[in-house]
Copies of this chain bind each other. A is one copy, B any other.
Amino acid sequence: MCSAQVQSPFYDQSAIWPGASDFKLAKNANVVRFKAGETLYVEGESAPYCYQVVSGVVKEYNTLEDGRRQVADFYGVGDLFGISELEDQLHTAEAITDCAVRCYSRDPFLKAVASCPKLSQQLLDTLMARLHSSRERMIMLGRMSAIQRVAAFLIRLSREQKATSNIRFIMSRQDIADHLGLTIETVCRALTEMKKRGVIIFESARLFSIQDTASLEEITHNSN
């Protein structure tokens, strides 16, 4: 396995893409700031840019004709996004928190990557890691119950924030639901159920702690 890298470590400020700052095309890249809730882009057709998070958290989602949404992923510091887009669906990126992103023009970016073995190696590793995690997500969406999905998501948050207490939901319940392929109500009920079982406790709606890591992990494995 190639050197895997954790995806979206929201609170890890260390550069995931250490090469990023000494990109040949770093000069082409301007850093843009967005306020929480602002849309970075909406795209139906071509995607002329790709992006890297400098600070804050961004969500990327697809909207179906009838308004249903699927949040593809959340991106944190260091994460690249906008690399492989869909043409047929409405495709949007939105700032969850205030954030700064480095924008690369797509073609020069890809050209620079192609001409530098080190960069293309990094990009390969990144893509493989992402493919890997999207595999995990397919298992989640295809074969896990509501409570299993939510439990798995809590574990992800815990890993990313490297904490078992005072873990923050940076995203809304709606975002979580749209990411997990559930409704907002079902996400709530799953959280309440885990609270009832004493697996987690809430400091507030957006802040929780894991009481019983083993049970939480067990929920993701056992079907009841």
Q: Please state if B138 and A137 are interface contacts (CB–CB under 8 Å).
A: yes
CA distance A124 to B62 in the complex (A): 23
Among residues 136 to 154 in chain A, which have CB atoms less than 8 Å away from a CB atom of chain B?
Answer: 136-139, 141-143
- Please judge, given known A-B contacts A46-B1, A139-B62, whether A121 and B127 are in contact too, CB under 8 Å: no
Q: Of B87, B114, B138, which contacts A141 at CB under 8 A?
A: B138
Q: Are B66 and A223 neighbours in the complex by a CB distance under 8 Å?
A: yes
Q: Is A70 touching B117 in the complex (CB atoms < 8 A)? A: no
A223 to B134, CA, bound (A): 25
Please measure, in the bound complex, the distance between the C-alpha atom of A65 and the C-alpha atom of B143, giving whole angstroms.
Answer: 12
A110 within 8 A of B: yes
Interface 9-mer from A10-18, A78-86, A166-174: A78-86
- Write the nearest CB–CB distance from A157 to chain B, whole angstroms: 18
* Interface size bracket, A side: 35 or more
Measured in the bound complex, the distance between the Cα atoms of B1 and A83 in whole Å is: 8
* Set of chain B residues within 8 Å of A223, measured between Cβ atoms: 66
Q: A89 near B: Cβ within 8 Å? A: yes
Give the interface SS of chain A, mostly helix, strand, loop or mixed.
helix
B139 and A70 contacting across the interface, CB-CB below 8 Å? yes
CB pair B1–A135 under 8 Å, yes or no, is no
Instruction: Tell me if A131 is interfacial: C-beta within 8 Å of chain B.
Output: yes
Chain B residues positioned under 8 Å from A135 (CB to CB): 62, 72, 84, 86, 134
A4 to B2, CA, bound (A): 24
| A128 interface contact, C-beta 8 A | yes
A68 close to chain B: CB less than 8 A: yes
Which residues on B sit within 8 Å (CB–CB) of A47? 1
Q: Is A180 an interface residue (CB 8 A)?
A: yes
| 5 residue pairs, one from A and one from B, having the closest CB atoms | A142-B181, A141-B141, A127-B127, A84-B131, A84-B128
